[in-house]
Amino acid sequence: MAAVDFFSGAPVTPNLDVDWIHGSRRRAAAGEPLIRVHRHDDHSFILRQSKATSFEAPFLYLLFGNSRALLLDTGATADAAQFPLRATVDSIMTGWLAAHPTPGYGLLVAHTHGHGDHIAGDGQFADRPDTEVVGAGVAAVRAFFGFDDDGVPVRVDLGVRALEAIHTPGHQDAAITLFDPWTGWLLTGDTVCPGRLYVEDMTAFTASLDRMVALARARRVSSVLGSHIEMTARRGRDYPAGTLFQPDEPPLQMSVDQLAEVSAAAHAVASRPGAHVFDHFIIFNGPCRAAFRRQRMRRLANRMRGR
């Protein structure tokens, strides 16, 4: 069996015209899957956790190389009955391995960052053979990837498919960004997504965005893909945190120009705490107590209207 050639033909034709909208307990009861699987190409899958199990409804990425696959993030729910991530990943991997038999094929489980809604399913992989789960803390992440302070991208080789990783703290101290030359994806976690960008450390956040823009400009990036959709299709309008059904979502993917917009916006509001609304994202600089109160009120109002 010939190895997959991840060089010629890269990047593959984008296939991101997906209707991601799903969720709510009612729809799950009506037979909607608990994890939505999108096969982007033969070797790249995007998974979305249903809002039936978590309002966070994060996106996860499963990328195949010739010697191992990478699962980026493990979702917001630990319980395999509510969130059958291991079974879903195993079934996709069984299919891939049937077409590409590879003895001892590995699985690397890593995280965009260490927040609970990105690592909760780690335990489902604890006893999986040929599997390495990177720890969620910043020390484990630095040690695994070998980041140092010069910010030079680090190679993560899946077997001919070689990704590049950079350490991008600011939203959270263990946050990373990955570039995949096969798809052209820049995977940005919660640092950049069409949603609320919560900033824990603004100095680190703006420095990370500078490095992300520099990397994106130096590579053939097709799409910037984060971990959540929290905006509506209306400019500057988000679904309040906790929303269980989002019928009017914008696409998941953002452009390199939009990444540069996030960077410029973060620099512009860096010295001003509070929530700052832009067309395609909202920057939460610091604790933002008033903005969170407004979020709670909007969520409550929506619940009372049955949304």
- Quote the least distance from Cβ 56 to Zn ion, whole Å: 9
- Which of 69-77, 187-195, 202-210, 258-266 is the region at the interface with Zn ion (rule: CB under 5 A)? 187-195
The Cβ-side half-sphere exposure at 89, using a 13 Å CA radius, reads 30
Q: Smallest gap, in angstroms, from Cβ of residue 290 to Zn ion?
A: 21
Q: Which is nearer to Zn ion, 190 or 261 (CB)?
A: 190
Q: Residue from 180, 190, 238, 261 that binds Zn ion (CB under 5 A)?
A: 190
Residue 231, beta-bridge partner list: 238
Distances (CA, A) of 289 to 74, 99, 152, 234, 284: 29, 52, 36, 24, 10
- What DSSP character marks residue 164? E
CB of 100 to Zn ion, least distance (A): 33
Dist. CA 22–CA 32, nearest whole Å: 8
As to burial, measured by CB atoms within 10 angstroms (0-12 exposed, 13-18 middle, 19+ buried), residue 174 is buried
* Total residues binding Zn ion (CB under 5 A): 2
Query: Binding pattern to Zn ion, positions 106-135, x when CB under 5 A?
Result: ---------x--------------------
Q: Residue 191 CB, nearest distance to Zn ion (Å)? A: 9
The residue among 191 and 223 lying less far from Zn ion, judged by its C-beta, is 191
Q: Which stretch binds Zn ion (CB under 5 A): 90-98, 99-107, 185-193, 246-254?
A: 185-193
Return the number of the residue (65 or 169) whose C-beta is nearest Zn ion. Answer: 169
CB-wise, 115 or 280, nearer to Zn ion? Answer: 115
Of 65 and 189, the one with the shorter C-beta distance to Zn ion is 189
Sign of CA dihedral 242, 246, 251, 252: positive
**CB 172, min distance to Zn ion, A:** 6
Smallest separation, CB 3 to Zn ion (Å)? 35
Residues 201-220 that bind Zn ion (CB under 5 A): none
When the beta carbons of 115 and 167 are compared against Zn ion, the nearer one is 115
Q: Tell me the torsion sign for CA atoms 273, 208, 14, 122.
A: negative
In whole angstroms, give the CA distance from residue 151 to residue 167. Answer: 7
Shortest Cβ 141–Zn ion spacing (Å): 14
The answer to whether 87 and 121 are in contact (CB under 8 A) is no
**Residues 6 or more apart in contact with residue 262 via CB below 8 angstroms:** 192, 197, 209, 278, 281, 283
- Map the footprint of Zn ion across residues 35-94, applying CB under 5 A: none
32-46 exposure pattern, b = at least 16 Cβ within 10 A, e = fewer: eebbbebebeebbbb
Task: State the residue number with the nearest CB to Zn ion.
Answer: 115
Q: How far is the CB of 119 from Zn ion (least distance, A)?
A: 10
State which residue, 95 or 116, has the beta carbon closest to Zn ion: 116
**Residue nearer to Zn ion on the CB measure, 180 or 190:** 190
Alpha-carbon torsion (280, 164, 86, 6), positive or negative: positive
- Distance separating alpha carbons of residues 169 and 146, to the nearest angstrom: 15
Cα separation, 6 vs 91, in Å, equals 23
User: Where does this chain bind Zn ion (CB under 5 A)?
Assistant: 115, 190
